[in-house]
């Protein structure tokens, strides 16, 4: 009963603190504190409810249990992280986004590609490509190469579509200006169309960063060596070791947020001039 | 030098053809300052764009410096100031002015020297490192003029460059433009909606009327080359302004 009271108390305290903070003028401090208090409150309520209601750890382990498991299994978690995030997701992301970018420049240059490939691209971008994962695992084997291939397939078309759209985003007047300078194709590309496309390119890169992690983890459900986050999640569920599953989910969440945040940070530095990024 | 002979331009639109220019003939000599004035839609911008090879006439002949507009464009014979400033927001003011210089292959040292010089000309020294969106509309427009002046083109095509500015800034820039023209010997084609502006600046005023866009009057200005701002109160000035107004009215009565 006391654990339920603890959960209730945590809820009341968190509510009260955030209500007071939100009423004050926004500063750097409160901007960080409000979501932080929110998160901590949520974890405290979770802890209290799981203990108070005596929920089976198979259904939902308490945060403290997940934390203990996390600390005890850092070597496994690290190995899985390297296998899935670094080898699978990141390499697939780099290859997929890089080749989509180059392809976008070709599509933009040659009209037959634009008219042929782009509708296909839009179509494929809307498909749940993750369904191809078993096929790709069959083609490229169990190790990270097949996971990278899944990621490539997943990120390619969203990145392509965004970049092509961005390359067409300069205004008629901006292009006329280049014409009056008798600027050639490359000068126009480098000095006008690529800079103008940057907000779109980063939009594609951000979408791709989330897709990459999903792709790399889910692809491991269809076969992998005995390491990797997806592998660990599916086997640990079988062994009812839900605390380890949750520890992997924590790693995935942190890695995903960090990855997205890094791309968003670079975006801010590159597209500082765009109205959506101007905070001054 | 620009020469147009029976120029025709018809836009094919969904609502049928639009005669933007019909039978337009005009000669602009080297070193002249020619203003185009007329009601909205009479083809002033279109005519300027034909000179710049941004629009292709459907009939007639046009030459710029004795060659086709395309050849003139490729030899970088003119600077064009658009109706809106159109600065690239990812470049600083200095970077925007440097843009044509980079494309045309001026040396680094030459670039910096020219940027500083034209910035001083439009009184924007000290704003080189600012971004366009940090400047007022009038300052942006001045930067876009500086951009067209930075490289050595002997023709300057200006499409209502001062349209968005207030009276006082406009007077000041008009004066500056006249000084610049006297100093550089450029040939200038200048679109405006303001009769005093046209009369104050020009050696020749071209009055146009719409539907179809055509030239209704060409007025050679008798005003001297040296023009202080208060010349606008002189009888000669008012006389020319009167003729322009008559020309504009006559164009309207045709409708
Ligand atoms: N790209 C285009 N396609 C179709 N019609 C056009 C195009 N550009 C201009 N026109 C038409 O040609 C005519 C002349 O246009 P233009 O822009 O030259 O006028 P303007 O004299 O510059 O007018 P304003 O003073 O408003 O700038 C107008 O009727 C306009 O609608
Ligand atoms: Mg116009």
Same domain, B55 and B116: no
Q: Find the residue in A nearest to B50 (Cα).
A: A180
Please give the tally of structural domains in chain B. 2
- Output the domain CATH number for residue B62: 3.40.50.300
The number of helices, as runs of H, and strands, as runs of E, in chain B is 8, 9
- Could you tell me if A133 and A248 lie in one domain? yes
CB pair distance less than 8 Å for B103 and A181: yes
A176 & A256 share domain: yes
- Give the residue, out of B18, B40, B161, B197, with the most ligand 1 atoms within 8 A of its beta carbon, to mutate for a pocket test: B18
Residue ranges of alpha helices (H) inside B63-103 are 69-74, 93-103
B165 and B225 belong to one structural domain: yes
Residue where a domain stops, chosen among A30, A55, A80: A55
| Residues B198, B104 share a domain | no
Rounded distance between C-alpha atoms, residue A195 and residue B97, angstroms = 17
- Among A187, A273, A274, select the one facing B103 at the smallest CB separation: A187
Residue B85, CA distances (Å) to A177, B31, B143 in order: 11, 25, 8
Q: How far is the CA of B23 from the centre of ligand 1 (A)?
A: 16
Please name every residue paired with B12 in a beta bridge, in sequence order, or none if there are none: B17
Per-residue pLDDT of chain B (255 residues; tens, 9 = 90+): 888 889 999 999 888 888 889 998 999 999 899 999 998 888 999 999 999 999 999 988 999 998 999 999 999 999 999 988 889 999 999 999 999 999 999 999 999 999 999 998 888 999 999 999 999 888 898 999 999 999 988 899 999 988 877 888 788 888 888 988 888 889 999 999 999 999 999 999 999 998 888 899 898 888 888 888 888 888 888 988 999 898 888 776 655
Q: How far apart are CA A148 and CA A169, in angstroms?
A: 31
Rounded Cα distance between A276 and B1, Å, is 45
Q: Express each pLDDT in A68-123 by its tens digit.
A: 999 999 999 999 999 999 999 999 999 999 999 999 999 988 888 888 888 888 88
CA B216 to the chain's CA centroid: 19
Please say which residue of B152, B167, B198 terminates a domain. Answer: B152
Determine the distance separating the centroid of ligand 2 and the alpha carbon of B182, expressed in angstroms. 26
By the 8 A CB rule, do A219 and A88 touch?
Answer: yes
Contacts of B82 in chain A (CB under 8 A): 173, 176-177
Which whole-number Å values give the CA distances from B51 to A26, A119, B57, B72, B191, in the listed order? 56, 39, 10, 9, 13
Residue A277 lies in a domain: no
CATH of the domain at A131: 1.10.3720.10
* Domain carrying residue B106: 88-152
Separation of CA B160 and ligand 2 centre (Å): 7
Q: Residue A275 falls within a domain, yes or no?
A: no
B110 and B17 within one domain = no
Closest approach atom of ligand 1 to CA B160:
27
Q: Sheet containing B2-13: give its strands across.
A: B16-28, B2-13, B59-64
Residues B248 and B187 grouped into a single domain:
yes
Q: Is B16 left (phi over 0), alpha (psi -120 to 50) or beta?
A: left
Chain A residues at the B interface, defined by Cβ less than 8 Å, are 171, 173-174, 176-183, 187, 191-192, 195-196, 198, 271, 273-275, 278
Q: Indicate whether B134 and B159 sit together in one domain.
A: no
**pLDDT value at position B158?**
94
Residues A25 and A146: their CA atoms lie apart, in Å, by 51
Q: Looking at residue A31, what is its pLDDT? A: 81
Euclidean distance between CA atoms B243 and A84, whole angstroms: 80
Residues B41 and B9 in one domain: yes
Give a yes or no: residue B83 inside a domain.
no
Q: How far is the CA of B144 from the centre of ligand 1 (A)?
A: 22
| Ligand nearest to C-alpha B82 | 2
Range of the domain at A262: 70-270
Count of CB contacts below 8 A, A vs B? 51
Give the position of tokens 């050595």. Answer: B152
Residues B168, B89: contact at Cβ < 8 Å? Answer: no
What pLDDT shows up at residue B170?
Answer: 85
Distance CA B144, CA B86 (A): 7
Residues near A148 by beta carbon (within 8 Å), at least 6 away in sequence: A87, A88, A89, A91, A92, A95, A216
Count the domains in chain A. Answer: 2
How many residues are listed for chain A in this entry? 280
Please give, rounded to a whole number of angstroms, the shortest distance from the CA of B66 to a CA of chain A.
Answer: 18
* Tokens (6 digits) for B23: 């039978």
Q: Which of A181, A198, A278 sits opposite B100 (nearest CB)?
A: A181
Pocket of ligand 1, beta carbon within 6 A: B 11, 13, 18, 20, 40-46, 213
Domain-embedded: residue A65: no
Q: Given a cut of 80, is residue A160 above it in pLDDT?
A: yes
More confident residue, B213 or A131: B213
Out of A124-128, A176-180, B89-93, B179-183, pick the least confident.
Answer: A124-128
In a domain, B118, yes or no: yes
Interface confidence (ipTM) of the complex:
0.89
Residue B124: burial class (beta carbons within 10 Å; 0-12, 13-18, 19+): buried
Going by pLDDT thresholds of 50, 70 and 90, the confidence category of residue A3 is confident
């Amino acid at each position: 009963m006391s654990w339920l009271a603890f959960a209730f108390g945590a809820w009341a305290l968190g509510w009260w603190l955030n209500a007071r903070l939100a009423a004050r003028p926004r500063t750097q401090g409160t901007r960080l504190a409000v979501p932080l208090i929110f998160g901590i409150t949520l974890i405290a309520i979770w802890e209290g409810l799981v203990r108070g209601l005596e929920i089976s750890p198979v259904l939902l382990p308490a945060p403290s249990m997940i934390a203990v498991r996390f600390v005890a299994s850092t070597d496994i978690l690290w190995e899985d992280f390297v296998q899935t995030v670094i080898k699978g997701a990141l390499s697939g992301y780099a290859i997929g986004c890089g080749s989509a970018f180059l392809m976008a420049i070709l599509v933009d240059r040659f009209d037959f590609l634009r008219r042929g490939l782009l509708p296909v691209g839009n179509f494929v971008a809307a498909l749940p490509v993750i369904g191809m994962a078993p096929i790709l695992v069959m083609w490229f084997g169990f190790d990270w190469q097949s996971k990278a291939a899944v990621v490539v397939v997943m990120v390619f078309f969203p990145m392509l579509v965004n970049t092509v759209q961005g390359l067409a985003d300069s205004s008629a007047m901006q292009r006329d200006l280049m014409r009056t300078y008798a600027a050639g194709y490359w000068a126009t590309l480098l000095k006008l169309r690529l800079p103008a496309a940057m907000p779109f390119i980063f939009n594609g890169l951000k979408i791709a960063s989330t897709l990459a992690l999903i792709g790399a983890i889910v692809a491991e459900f269809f076969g992998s060596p005995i390491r990797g986050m997806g592998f660990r999640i599916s086997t640990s569920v079988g062994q009812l070791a839900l605390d380890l599953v949750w520890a992997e989910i924590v790693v995935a969440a942190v890695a995903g947020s960090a990855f997205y945040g890094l791309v968003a940070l670079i975006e801010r530095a590159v597209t500082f001039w765009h109205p959506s990024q101007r905070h001054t | 030098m620009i020469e147009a002979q029976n120029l025709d331009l018809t836009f094919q639109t969904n609502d049928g053809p639009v005669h933007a220019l019909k039978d337009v003939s005009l000669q602009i000599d080297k070193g002249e300052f020619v203003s185009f004035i007329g009601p909205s839609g009479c083809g002033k911008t279109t005519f300027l764009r034909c000179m710049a090879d941004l629009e292709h006439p459907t009939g007639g002949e046009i030459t710029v410096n004795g060659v086709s507009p395309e050849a003139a464009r490729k030899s970088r014979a003119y600077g064009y100031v658009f109706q809106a400033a159109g600065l690239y927001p990812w470049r600083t003011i200095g970077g925007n002015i440097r843009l044509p210089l980079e494309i045309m292959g001026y040396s680094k040292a030459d670039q910096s020297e020219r940027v500083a010089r034209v910035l001083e000309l439009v009184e924007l020294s000290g704003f080189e490192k600012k971004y366009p969106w940090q400047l007022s509309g009038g300052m942006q427009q001045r930067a876009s003029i500086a951009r067209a002046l930075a490289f050595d083109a002997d023709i300057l095509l200006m499409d209502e460059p001062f349209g968005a500015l207030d009276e006082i800034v406009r007077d000041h820039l008009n004066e500056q433009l006249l000084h610049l023209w006297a100093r550089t010997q450029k040939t200038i084609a200048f679109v405006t909606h303001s009769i005093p502006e046209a009369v104050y600046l020009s050696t020749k005023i071209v009055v146009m009327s719409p539907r179809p866009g055509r030239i209704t009057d060409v007025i050679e200005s008798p005003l001297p080359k040296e023009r202080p701002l208060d010349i606008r109160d002189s009888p000669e000035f008012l006389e020319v302004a009167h003729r322009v107004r008559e020309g504009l009215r006559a164009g309207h009565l045709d409708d």
